[in-house]
Amino acid sequence: MSKVTRTTVPAVTEEDIDDASVSQLEGSLPDEGLIDLLDNPFIYAIHGKRIFYTKDFYIAMYKKVHDEKMTAIQAYEALGFPVARLGTERARQAAKNAMAKAEKNELFTTDPASYDGSIPLEQMGPLNPSELCAYLTARCTYLESLVEVQKKIPSILAEMSISSRNPARK
C-alpha cells in the first residue's frame, strides 16, 4: 500500500516575512541578480534584494545545522543557495533565524489545513502524534461538512420532485 502524503501547500505567514510590511513590498521587483533563485522551492518571494523563505526552508536549515552538524554556510549551500554570490552573512542570518524559530517552537507545528480530510486514516501511513492530531482535525472538519450536505439532500430532492410535477408555465 502506498503512503498518501499531505498536500504541499507552502506554509507562509506574515511572520515568515521577517516583520516586513506586505503593503510596502507589493509591486517591488526582484533584483536582477536574484531572479534565477525564484525556481528554488525554499523561496517564497524576492523583493529587491530581500529573500523571503518558506517555512520548509527554516525546517530544512535547522535540520542541516542542528542534526547534521553542518555550518550555516554549508547548510545554505546544500539547500541550493550560491553562497559565493549571496554572501556568507546572508547564510549565517538564515541559520540564526532558523534556530530562533526552533527555540520559539515555531518550526514543527502541524497545520490541519495541510491534510486532506477526505482520505481515510488507513491510507495515511505512519504519522507522529502531532501529525495525527492535525489529520484528525482535518478529518473532523471534512466529516462535519459532509454531514451538513447530507442534511440538505432531502429538501433538495423534495424541491426537485415538486418542480418536476409542476413545470413552469409560459
Q: Is beta strand 43-47 parallel, antiparallel or unpaired with respect to 50-53?
A: antiparallel
pLDDT of residue 90: 95
Q: Is residue 108 part of a domain?
A: no
Q: Give yes or no for residue 141 having a pLDDT over 60.
A: yes
Same-domain status, 54 and 93: yes
The kind and range of the H/E element at 60 are helix 55-62
Lowest mean pLDDT among 32-36, 39-43, 83-87: 32-36
Q: Is residue 77 part of a domain?
A: yes
Mean pLDDT, the chain, rounded, equals 79
Return the amino acid letter for 66.
Answer: H
* Calpha distance 6→3 (Å, rounded): 10
**How many Å is the Cα radius of gyration of the chain?**
23
Same-domain status, 97 and 40: yes
Same-domain status, 74 and 137: no
Same-domain status, 84 and 126: no
**pTM of the complete model:** 0.54
Confidence of residue 32 (pLDDT cuts 50, 70, 90): confident
